[in-house]
Structure 1
Amino acid sequence: MSRITPFASPLLLGFDAMEKTLERISKASDGYPPYNIERVAPDSLSGDPERLRITLAVAGFGEDELDVSIEENQLVIRGRQVDPGDREYLYRGIAARQFQRTFVLADGMQVLGAGLKNGLLSVDLIRPEPARMVKKINISVSQ
């Protein structure tokens, strides 16, 4: 029995990758670390495009324990804490854990940079206005 998907329509050509991406997103539902996505109003004087900011709560992680990268069309944020072996805990309530959080980027999205302050990792993105493209397709007549 085959599965019917929203992208199975013959009018939606070339959306196979988007369908796979949506499946991957639905499987990645781990809630750690918590994050916010906010819209940052553009500066009216500079004429810059609208910005987005992703903020992750990464308390306990240092700059050298975090990695922000773009892989294909995905923003991947990884954290890996190293557990120092020279400590003897009487009680350990704070676990040293690792995480990977992935955000799928739309075409044209650009990462401006990332910053770590007070246990919050912020990643700024912009989406420049795409140039409007109209392409004329010639019709050939055959006899």
Structure 2
Amino acid sequence: MLASLAPGVLFGTALVLLSRDPRFSWLTEPGRYPWELWVVALAGTTATLAGISDWRYHRTAGVRVGPNEHRAELLALAGGGLPLFLLMGAASVSSRPRVFLLPVLVVLMGTIVLICYDEFVFHRRRCGRFESLLHRTLLAGHATAFLAWAHFCFVREGFHG
């Protein structure tokens, strides 16, 4: 659960800290936020709510996560998601963000493999419609947030570095 909440907390904390940097003074004025930041906020919140709902569903329905599934999910979050988050954070503040593009893509592909392993090995047969919907919402939210952040880092000019 903590690993699911970490990206939102870390992202928000980083925005507050960056707002003190003159290069990112626009962060103190929400009216100047680029559309990508709004998409990250909306999609990330949606993903987080789906993750919390899935966690609550497991608790109330008595669905137990076995040790192998737990290990796979933790590996996807901490072994894939965290390094990806850190690389994207570095690209966000870099004056040359495109230097991070290849490492981001490599880590992204590894993360996708880890997520697919978890979904296909542990969730495909066990999950009902509701839980599958929560998983798809979580994954779609994270994917949308990533794509918006990637657009900010690697396509948009003039807001960072």
TM-score, normalization by structure 2: 0.29
Higher RCO (Cα < 8 Å, 6 or more apart): 2
TM-score, normalization by structure 1: 0.32
More strand per residue: 1
Q: Which structure's CA Rg is the greater one? A: 1
More helix per residue: 2
